[in-house]
């Protein structure tokens, strides 16, 4: 009768001894190293597999991330193109309108000065009614033109008092980007609006395609965040399970007697 005896020690090796009819002459010792099971692997094979594994991992993450990043980049490029169009259409009109309004207001001021001077020379400022009437006409004309200029939103008190630092403009490129962002997000914050006909048409077309693009991007970002959080949770569960298995094997092998 043949009996196979298997000894398990702490060094992860099986010691198999085969006895036939209790005879020691037929003992065939066999050792199997569990930690080195499998065909031998040369150093060259290991070095070749590492770059391939890294490249495969990089391509996998690239395929997963690039579509989301590409959609965000597309939205940013669309915003920059829209801001460039608005700046190109509205900035020259702002400069032209502001110059015309300032010319009118300063013209009213100069006319008033000339009228007062003429009245002073003619009557020596003895005719109070004429002076009051002249001042009233100047005031009414000034108020009318100031409010017209204010409606265009291109003139403020610094322009009238010559206290501006260079060419202060509303339709700067930064403000154009801000306006484009408020259009596609449907916020509508601020008083900056297109004043030209082509600018208003461009705004409608920009919103017509920009709002759906933004909604698609937001939905894609939400899905990406959801998948990423799920991936983190699965990774945590797998790591926790691996730690529990390692701890179980460590506790189990500590109770196995060491056999010589």
The answer to the question of residue 28 being in a domain is yes
Question: H or E stretch including 19?
Answer: strand 13-20
Max mean pLDDT range (82-86, 126-130, 223-227): 82-86
Directed axis angle between helix 43-123 and helix 173-184, to 10°? 110
Categorize the per-residue pLDDT at 7 as very low, low, confident or very high, splitting at 50, 70 and 90.
Answer: very low
The answer to the question of residue 101 being in a domain is no
Q: What is the pLDDT of residues 141-176, one digit of tens each?
A: 777 777 777 776 667 666 666 656 556 788 899 999
- Show Cβ contacts of residue 16 under 8 Å, excluding neighbours closer than 6 positions: 4, 5, 6, 29, 30, 31, 32
Tokens of 58: 């990089």
Provide the 8-state DSSP code for 190: S
Among 32-41, 135-144, 188-197, name the one with the lowest average pLDDT.
Answer: 32-41
Tokens of 20: 């036939």
Confidence at residue 13, expressed as pLDDT on a 0 to 100 scale: 46
Categorize the per-residue pLDDT at 213 as very low, low, confident or very high, splitting at 50, 70 and 90.
Answer: very high
Reply yes or no on whether the pLDDT at 89 is more than 80: yes
Confidence at residue 178, expressed as pLDDT on a 0 to 100 scale: 93
The answer to the question of residue 139 being in a domain is no
The answer to the question of residue 29 being in a domain is yes
Percent of the chain scored above 90 by pLDDT?
24
Report the distance separating Cα 257 and Cα 248, nearest Å. 17
The answer to the question of residue 178 being in a domain is no
Reply yes or no on whether the pLDDT at 260 is more than 60: no
Per-position b or e across 143-168, b if 16+ CB within 10 A of its CB: eebbeebeeeebbeeebbeeeeeeee
The answer to the question of residue 14 being in a domain is yes
Among 12-16, 215-219, 228-232, name the one with the lowest average pLDDT.
Answer: 12-16
Average pLDDT over residues 107-122: 74
Across the chain, mean pLDDT equals 75
Longest CA span, the chain: 150
**79 neighbors 213 (Cβ within 8 angstroms):** no
Categorize the per-residue pLDDT at 217 as very low, low, confident or very high, splitting at 50, 70 and 90.
Answer: very high
Confidence at residue 127, expressed as pLDDT on a 0 to 100 scale: 64
Confidence at residue 50, expressed as pLDDT on a 0 to 100 scale: 57
What is the tally of structural domains in the chain? Answer: 1
Confidence at residue 206, expressed as pLDDT on a 0 to 100 scale: 96
Confidence at residue 75, expressed as pLDDT on a 0 to 100 scale: 94
The answer to the question of residue 50 being in a domain is no
Residue keyed to tokens 């065939």? 28
- Show Cβ contacts of residue 89 under 8 Å, excluding neighbours closer than 6 positions: 194, 196, 198, 199, 202
The answer to the question of residue 23 being in a domain is yes
- Alpha carbon 15 to its chain's center: 62
Question: H or E stretch including 142?
Answer: helix 128-152
Categorize the per-residue pLDDT at 187 as very low, low, confident or very high, splitting at 50, 70 and 90.
Answer: confident
Domain that holds residue 6: 1-33
Q: What is the pLDDT of residues 31-88, one digit of tens each?
A: 444 444 444 555 555 555 556 777 887 788 778 788 888 899 999 999 999 999 999 9
Selected residue with higher pLDDT from 138 and 82: 82
- Show Cβ contacts of residue 108 under 8 Å, excluding neighbours closer than 6 positions: 138, 141, 142, 145
Confidence at residue 49, expressed as pLDDT on a 0 to 100 scale: 52
Q: What are phi and psi of 31, to 5 degrees?
A: -115, 135
């Amino acid at each position: 009768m043949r009996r196979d005896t298997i000894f398990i020690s702490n060094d992860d090796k099986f010691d198999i001894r085969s006895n036939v009819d209790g005879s020691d002459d037929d003992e065939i010792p066999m050792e199997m190293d569990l930690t080195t099971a499998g065909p031998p692997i040369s150093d060259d094979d290991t070095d070749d597999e590492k770059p391939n594994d890294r490249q495969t991992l990089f391509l996998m993450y690239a395929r997963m991330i690039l579509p989301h990043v590409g959609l965000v980049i597309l939205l940013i490029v669309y915003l920059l193109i829209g801001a460039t169009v608005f700046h190109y259409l509205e900035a020259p009109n702002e400069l032209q309108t502001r110059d015309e309004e300032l010319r009118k207001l300063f013209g009213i001021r100069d006319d008033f000065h000339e009228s007062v001077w003429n009245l002073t020379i003619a009557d020596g400022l003895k005719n109070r009614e004429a002076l009051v009437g002249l001042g009233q006409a100047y005031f009414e004309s000034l108020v009318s033109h100031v409010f017209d200029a204010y409606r265009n939103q291109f003139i403020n008190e610094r322009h009238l008092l010559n206290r501006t630092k260079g060419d202060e403009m509303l339709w700067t490129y930064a403000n154009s980007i801000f306006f484009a962002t408020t259009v596609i997000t449907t916020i509508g914050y601020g008083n900056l609006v297109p004043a030209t006909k082509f600018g208003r048409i461009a705004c409608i077309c920009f919103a017509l395609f920009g709002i759906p693009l933004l909604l698609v991007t937001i939905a894609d970002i939400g899905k990406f965040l959801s998948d990423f959080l799920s991936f983190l949770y699965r990774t945590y569960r797998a790591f926790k399970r691996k730690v529990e298995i390692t701890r179980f094997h460590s506790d189990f092998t500590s109770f196995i007697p060491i056999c010589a």
